[in-house]
Amino acid sequence: MRAGLKTCAPLAALAVVAGLIMAAQASAGDPPEWSTPVKPFKIAGNVYYVGTMGLAAYLIVSNQGAILLDGTTAENARLIERNIEAVGIPLHSVKRLISDHAHQDHVGALAHIKRDTGAEFLASAGDRWALEHGRVRGDTNYRPKPFAPIKVDRVVRDGDIIELGDVAVTVHLTPGHTPGCTSWSTTVQDRGRQLNVLFLCSITVAGNILVGNHAYPQIASDYRATFRKLAAMKADIVLPSHPDIADVIEREARRDAGETNAFIDPQLLPSLVAESSAAFETALAAAR
């Protein structure tokens, strides 16, 4: 028995060390701005920003409840819920949940928010497995964090129109970053103008294996098809899941300072697509 204890001791010590290393990795993991609160604000028409400094969550409000796009990380769940309430929407009025793509920084909080709101969760077939297993599908050069699985209540297809009250949101499958990466669009009426709003799924390579990806073999051709598709689209306002990509927080500050049209930028989509497409081709060439 003593001998057993003796042989266990080094293992126990190792376990403690491993635990400490894991704790250090967890706290050092996510960028701090991902959980830094910002005051929620209206972007245009019935579209609100309810995310954090570094991760977006968008609320599209209709006359019969609201649609929430993304929940950000698990640790932010209550923060996002408070932001929704702060723009005047009770949680039980959130009727639909949708997401950008199945990575923990965008969908980590959705299982929690789904429980609290009772909302229906809509997602593409390409990300369904990942969402329902809480694990990234596709080979990456980093170890993706798992997240709480979220049951998909309804699978959406390219071109589907999601209706809620007086709001209609169109589904645009834009795979590559994940197999089911989904962009969404809607039109808003803002101060007498009609504006096209595109909620753009991530189009960065971001650690994805582009050549020899066993879990996602068609990744490279998907990226290219997505770039072609997005290059043919028009948007007055582009709202990505990482707000810094479109300077969402800065644009709000500019508008606050008097620049009324700070969010309207029809050149943003073509320039983001050109930039990301070039970066993708460079990464693909390097991977070959």
Q: Which residues bind Zn ion (CB under 5 A)?
A: 103, 202
Q: Which amino acid is at 50?
A: V
Least distance (Å) between residue 103 CB and Zn ion: 4
**Does residue 134 contact residue 102 with C-beta atoms inside 8 Å?**
no
Residue 177 CB, nearest approach to Zn ion (Å): 6
Q: State the nearest-atom distance from the C-beta of 126 to Zn ion, in Å.
A: 14
Q: Write out the two tokens for 37.
A: 């609160």
CA distance 190 to 44: 6
Element (H, E) at 7: helix 2-29
User: How far apart are alpha carbons 215 and 227 in whole angstroms?
Assistant: 21
CB of 105 to Zn ion, least distance (A): 6
**Residue number, 100 or 190, with CB nearest to Zn ion:** 100
**Between 105 and 120, whose beta carbon lies closer to Zn ion?**
105
Using Cβ positions, the residue closest to Zn ion within the complex turns out to be: 103
Q: Would you say 183 or 202 has its CB closer to Zn ion? A: 202
How many other CB atoms sit within 10 Å of the CB of residue 115?
12
End-to-end CA distance of the chain: 56
Cβ closer to Zn ion: 65 or 176? 176
CA geometry: angle at 179 spanning 207 and 111, to 5°? 90
Which residue's CB is nearer to Zn ion, number 202 or number 276?
A: 202
Would you say 74 and 104 are in contact if contact means Cβ atoms under 8 Å apart?
yes
What is the number of other CB atoms lying within 10 angstroms of the CB of residue 194? 10
- In angstroms, give the least distance from the CB of 46 to Zn ion: 26
Least distance from Zn ion to the Cβ atom of residue 76, Å: 15
Choice between 46 and 124, CB closer to Zn ion: 124
8 A C-beta contact, residue 215 and residue 284:
no
CB contact at 8 A, 216 and 138: yes
